[in-house]
Amino acid sequence: MVENMAMIETIQFFVTCLVDTLYPQVGEAAVRVLRRVGARVEFPAGQTCCGQPAFNAGMRPQARQMAEHTIRVLESAPGVVVLPSGSCAAMIRHGYPEIFAGDSRWSLRAETLAKRTYELTEFLVDILGVTDVQARFAGQLAYHASCHLSRDLGVILQPGLLLRNVKEADIVELPHSDECCGFGGLFSFEYPEISHAMLDRKIHNIRSSSASVVVACDAGCITHINGGLHRRGLSPCVRHIAEVLEKT
């Protein structure tokens, strides 16, 4: 199947609070995909939330508490850290160094964690060099580029490379696929009308595509778009990329 795995023996799987609570099957799917490509997956039991909600709210002391907790939990575990979420990976990679800037002791710990943290598709493609995970998924798949994944982490092509190698999948275009769905974490609670208008645009684009399934790499977008589709009486068709890649 996939060779050259000696380098990456152990993965610390950071499931993220949304996937943990709302989409445990996505976490399981990601673990299956990682195991299929030969990785040994571990789950640091103390993990909770990376702190992104507090960080985005502007509540730095609270964000820092959660970041410290996460760093403590992850830094003692060996190997790389992999998350099935672009925004949480971005939080650890760019948010943590920002939170601890000016605190030399913690910022070293934050930077060290940041450097070994990867989003799932980024890890598969950039670190393992795997673009074919032997998946099979019949249907018209379109890809929604989550904002933090594409613009903060710069992970733009990786999900598409993986999807292109899914057997029986027909990759179709989603117009304006990189436009924000209007989630933005707290933004969607604080400014529901604007968020609603942005989501309408996203849903319009989804409906104008021929996709049967829209694939995303962030539970935030998935929750938001599916929640909007469901309220409108439409089928919640957004799935996490791990759910597609796990199917054989």
Residues 124-163, interacting with another protein (CB under 8 A): 136, 147-148, 151-152
Q: Which of 36, 53, 75, 80 binds another protein (CB under 8 A)?
A: 53
User: Which residues from 68-107 bind another protein, rule CB under 8 A?
Assistant: 68-69, 73, 94, 98
- Tokens 């450097």 locate to 115
Classified as helix, coil or strand, 239 is: strand
The smaller minimum CB distance to another protein, of residues 3 and 193, is found at 193
Looking at 12-20, 74-82, 120-128, 157-165, which segment touches another protein (CB under 8 A)?
A: 12-20
Give the residue from 80, 79, 55 showing the smallest Cα distance to 68: 55
Element (DSSP H or E) covering residue 41: strand 40-42
Instruction: Determine if 57 is a binding residue for another protein (CB under 8 A).
Output: yes
The smaller minimum CB distance to another protein, of residues 6 and 38, is found at 38
Contact between residue 170 and residue 200 where contact means Cβ atoms under 8 Å apart: no
Contact between residue 171 and residue 164 where contact means Cβ atoms under 8 Å apart: yes
Query: Whole-angstrom Cα distance, residue 28 to residue 12?
Result: 14
Looking at 74-82, 123-131, 157-165, 185-193, which segment touches another protein (CB under 8 A)?
A: 185-193
The smaller minimum CB distance to another protein, of residues 7 and 195, is found at 195
Residue 57 CB, nearest distance to another protein (Å)?
Answer: 5
The smaller minimum CB distance to another protein, of residues 7 and 89, is found at 89
Within a 13 Å sphere around the CA of 127, how many CA atoms are in the beta-carbon half? 25
- Degrees to nearest 5, angle at CA 167 with 165 and 170: 85
- Tokens 């640091």 locate to 44
Q: Which of 89, 223, 241, 245 binds another protein (CB under 8 A)?
A: 223
User: Which residues from 193-222 bind another protein, rule CB under 8 A?
Assistant: 193-201, 203, 207
The smaller minimum CB distance to another protein, of residues 1 and 108, is found at 1
User: Which residues from 107-126 bind another protein, rule CB under 8 A?
Assistant: none
Residue 31 CB, nearest distance to another protein (Å)?
Answer: 8
The single-letter code of the amino acid at 186 is L
Tokens of 164: 């292109």
Residue 4 CB, nearest distance to another protein (Å)?
Answer: 22
CA dihedral 85, 128, 179, 19 (to 10 degrees): -20
Give the residue from 35, 47, 43 showing the smallest Cα distance to 9: 35
Instruction: Determine if 36 is a binding residue for another protein (CB under 8 A).
Output: no
Instruction: Determine if 39 is a binding residue for another protein (CB under 8 A).
Output: no
Tokens of 39: 């990785």
The smaller minimum CB distance to another protein, of residues 115 and 231, is found at 231
